[in-house]
């Protein structure tokens, strides 16, 4: 006749968790939680990048309308002043076209100290800061109009003209532009009004091209 205590013990062991099994289960749950958090975080960052891209597209549409109302001329930088001394910066000149809902700040860099976190390409202005004519742009779809300001910058336009011998190297460009604002890349607006996300490697390739029109129209 079998020993009841032994049978009961075996039955109990067969239906319970061992310490090893419990630790494995805890590890699996922790791993799945980490994956879930990473996925949620990635989705949030992608959403911010898309919001930023949409904001830049809004500027692109405003630039095209402004040019249409101003004899095909692009907006000015803050160096140009009206008769009353007020700035004719693109942020002011485009205000009517941008509307009251335009914030002008990338949601991916909430700690940025600039009021507007996008900068205008100063090669699209003359020595006084006035916007150049669209007709002077050889390749509007390939020439940068607006980019994301580096976190150490506060101006509403970039100072690419200050580059040594007028050539903007990738290292100099990076001091002005937040080239990896969204992961490995950032958002850019072009003179023809289209906006796109470019990886930093893609931007470097464009900067290093011979006779590039990426910055100089």
pLDDT digits (tens, 9 = 90+) for 67-123: 999 999 999 999 999 999 999 999 999 999 999 889 999 999 999 999 999 999 999
Residues of the domain holding 101: 4-208
Residue 42 domain flag? yes
Is the confidence at residue 189, as pLDDT, over 90?
Answer: yes
In sign, the C-alpha dihedral spanning 140, 144, 146, 148 is positive
3-state secondary structure of 193: coil
- Tell me if 215 is assigned to some domain: no
Domain-embedded: residue 103: yes
Please give the helix or strand (H or E) that residue 82 lies within, else none: none
pTM of the model: 0.80
- 64 exposed, middle or buried (CB, 10 Å; 0-12, 13-18, 19+)? middle
Number of domains in the chain: 1
> From start to end of the chain, where are the E strands?
118-120, 144-148, 185-190, 195-199
Each residue of 136-162: pLDDT tens digit? 999 999 999 999 999 999 999 999 998
Whether 217 maps to a domain, the answer reads no
Per the domain annotation, does 213 fall within a domain? no
| In the predicted structure, residue 41 carries a pLDDT above the cut 70 | no
- The torsion angles phi and psi of 106, rounded to 5 degrees, stand at -70, 125
How large a percentage of the chain has pLDDT more than 90?
75
pLDDT, mean over the chain: 88
Among the residue ranges 17-21, 198-202, 207-211, the one predicted with the least confidence is 17-21
In a domain, 216, yes or no: no
Cα dihedral 50, 53, 54, 55 sign = positive
Backbone angles phi, psi at 52, to 5 degrees: -65, -45
Specify if 39 maps to a domain: yes
Contacts of 172 (CB under 8 A, 6+ apart): 160, 163, 164
């Amino acid at each position: 006749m079998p020993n009841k205590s032994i049978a009961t013990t075996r039955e109990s062991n067969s239906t319970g968790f061992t310490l090893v099994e419990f630790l494995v289960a805890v590890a699996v749950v922790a791993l799945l939680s980490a994956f879930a958090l990473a996925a949620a975080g990635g989705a949030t960052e992608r959403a911010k990048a898309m919001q930023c891209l949409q904001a830049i597209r809004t500027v692109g549409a405003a630039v095209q309308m402004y040019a249409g109302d101003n004899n095909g001329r692009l907006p000015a930088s803050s160096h140009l002043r009206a008769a009353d001394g007020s700035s004719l910066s693109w942020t002011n000149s485009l205000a009517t076209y941008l509307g009251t809902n335009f914030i002008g700040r990338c949601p991916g860099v909430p700690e940025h100290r600039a009021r507007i976190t996008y900068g205008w390409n100063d090669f699209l202005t003359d020595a006084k800061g006035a916007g150049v004519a669209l007709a002077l742009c050889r390749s509007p779809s390939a020439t940068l109009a607006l980019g994301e300001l580096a976190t150490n910058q506060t101006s509403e336009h970039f100072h690419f003209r200050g580059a040594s011998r007028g050539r903007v190297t990738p290292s100099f460009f990076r001091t002005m532009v937040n080239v990896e604002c969204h992961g490995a890349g950032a958002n850019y607006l072009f003179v023809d009004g289209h906006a796109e996300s470019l990886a930093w490697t893609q931007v470097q390739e464009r900067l290093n091209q011979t006779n590039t029109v990426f910055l100089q129209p």
